[in-house]
């Protein structure tokens, strides 16, 4: 029997596999149709609409990646050079939408190059031209450039946008809640940049102003609120940033009081970002009450904590530990401890910083069995990583030792403390040797 005949027999014997063939063909057709549509688009608005539409509709990861990478390359090749001309034609929004779509990691190197090229042009815009851009386009571009914060051109483009909002006072008030959050997200990627800090302060003033309205911050989406807090927390020493975080905390507290929805619309990442921000103002009543409300929400999702990634669990626990006397925070911490224990060998997925946060958090409830067991599991993990302790930040090592010290009678904690102490000594020796080499070179 020929191989073709054998294939036919197999198809008849296993009819369930047939739809997969058709599905593959359908996916290929959709990808080809998507690529054809962007290649045939002559204007940036048509191009951006097609990119956004198909970027959402293509479900196969490989197809979506191929589409966005080709779209990014086509965008850079055919449209970026016409950026200034299209701004004059009132088409800046199309550039912002396309840049946002191709700035995600899935767009690969072509996406990086496209963002870099557009950011370079934004950084060189004069005052007359940048004023012709839609303010929501500037907001979306800042957020997009922020995803590539290590690229000098993206930094330069975002700084130029920040300068615009500082020069054009009152422009921030024209942004809706979504674009105000996006703008904050972009500026927060360069917290040490003076222009970003000043622009963030102007956004904080706007959030505080809107928080005093009758509607307060009710028009912000859950993601928008968490984005604001995550951004403002980069400047936790700034008075206006702290006040803006308190305003958001008040809004979260009010939403938690709604019996119909509560905080159910907040995703795990958003809840973790809120708690991580609120913990920096423990003296603020709204921050405490909002965190207690989030702890209650986490408890209501006890059966779904497996959906929280390690960083989210660590940030939640670290925040709850600021108010250890609050029963919901206490109970939520125990639920997180049990979740960490239930992951067993998957504790290897926690990075050093997250492990240190967990130990710091559990140490606030040393009398709890679940806390002690979770600490023991983390101490064991530290021992398993003894050959890689040089990769831990010194502050994380210090926090681990401080946390383990709450259980002086635990053999594993004591052993982990000793290996960390040995690593700290080695680290000090390495620094001393490096300093000696440097001085020796100076004498030469």
For residue 427, the model assigns a pLDDT of 80
Distance, in Å, from the CA atom of 35 to the CA atom of 57, rounded to the nearest integer, reads 13
What would the mean pLDDT of 253-269 be, rounded to a whole number? 92
Distance, in Å, from the CA atom of 68 to the CA atom of 55, rounded to the nearest integer, reads 7
What would the mean pLDDT of 375-384 be, rounded to a whole number? 95
What H or E segment, with its residue span, contains residue 97? helix 92-102
Under DSSP, the state recorded for 1 is -
What would the mean pLDDT of 224-229 be, rounded to a whole number? 97
Distance, in Å, from the CA atom of 133 to the CA atom of 160, rounded to the nearest integer, reads 13
Residue 383 confidence (pLDDT) above 90: yes
Residue that is written with structure tokens 């199309």 in the block: 94
Residue that is written with structure tokens 């983390």 in the block: 378
For residue 24, the model assigns a pLDDT of 63
Cβ atoms < 10 Å from Cβ of 351: 15
Nearest alpha carbon to residue 228 among 257, 251, 254, 253:
251
3-state secondary structure of 352: helix
Residue 311 confidence (pLDDT) above 80: yes
Q: Which residues contact 378 (CB under 8 A, 6 or more apart)?
A: 340, 347, 350, 355, 358, 359, 400
Q: Which residues contact 256 (CB under 8 A, 6 or more apart)?
A: 262, 263, 290, 293, 294, 296, 297
What would the mean pLDDT of 223-240 be, rounded to a whole number? 94
Residue 143 confidence (pLDDT) above 70: yes
Distance, in Å, from the CA atom of 214 to the CA atom of 75, rounded to the nearest integer, reads 44
């Amino acid at each position: 029997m020929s191989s073709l005949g054998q294939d036919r027999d197999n198809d008849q014997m296993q009819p369930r596999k047939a739809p997969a063939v058709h599905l593959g063909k359908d996916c290929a057709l959709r990808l080809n149709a998507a690529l054809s549509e962007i290649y045939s688009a002559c204007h940036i608005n048509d191009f951006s609409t097609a990119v956004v539409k198909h970027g959402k509709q293509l479900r196969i990861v490989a197809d979506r990646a191929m589409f966005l990478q080709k779209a990014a390359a086509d965008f850079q090749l055919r449209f970026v050079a016409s950026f200034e001309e299209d701004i004059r034609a009132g088409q800046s929004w199309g550039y912002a939408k396309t840049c946002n779509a191709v700035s995600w990691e899935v767009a690969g190197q072509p996406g990086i190059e496209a963002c870099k090229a557009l950011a370079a042009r934004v950084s060189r815009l004069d005052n007359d031209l940048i004023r012709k851009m839609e303010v929501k386009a500037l907001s979306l571009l800042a957020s997009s450039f922020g995803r590539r914060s290590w690229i000098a051109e993206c930094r330069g483009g975002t700084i130029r946008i920040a300068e615009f909002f500082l020069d054009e006072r009152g422009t921030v008030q024209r942004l809706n809640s979504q674009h105000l959050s996006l703008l904050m997200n972009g500026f927060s990627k360069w917290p040490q940049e003076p222009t970003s800090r000043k622009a963030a302060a102007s956004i904080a003033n706007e959030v505080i102003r809107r928080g005093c309205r009758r509607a307060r911050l009710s028009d912000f989406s859950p993601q928008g609120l968490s984005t604001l807090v995550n951004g403002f927390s980069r400047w936790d020493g700034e008075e206006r940033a702290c006040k803006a975080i308190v305003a958001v905390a008040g809004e979260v507290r009010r939403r938690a009081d709604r019996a119909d929805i509560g905080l159910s619309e907040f995703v795990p990442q958003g809840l973790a970002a809120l708690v991580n921000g609120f913990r920096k103002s423990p003296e603020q009543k709204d921050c405490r009450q909002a965190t207690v409300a989030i702890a209650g929400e986490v408890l209501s999702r006890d059966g779904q904590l497996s959906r929280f990634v390690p960083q989210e669990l660590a940030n939640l626990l670290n925040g709850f530990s600021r108010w250890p006397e609050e029963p919901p925070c206490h109970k939520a911490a125990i639920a997180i401890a049990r979740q960490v224990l239930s992951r067993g060998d998957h504790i290897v997925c926690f990075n050093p910083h997250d492990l240190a946060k967990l130990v710091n958090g559990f140490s606030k409830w040393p009398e709890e069995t679940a806390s002690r067991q979770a600490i023991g599991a983390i101490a064991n993990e530290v021992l398993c990583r003894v050959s890689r302790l040089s990769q831990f930040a010194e502050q994380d090592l210090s926090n681990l030792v401080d946390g383990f010290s709450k259980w002086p009678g635990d053999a594993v904690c004591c052993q982990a403390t000793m290996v960390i102490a040995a690593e700290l000594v080695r680290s000090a020796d390495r620094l001393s040797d490096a300093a000696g080499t440097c001085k020796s070179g100076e004498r030469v």
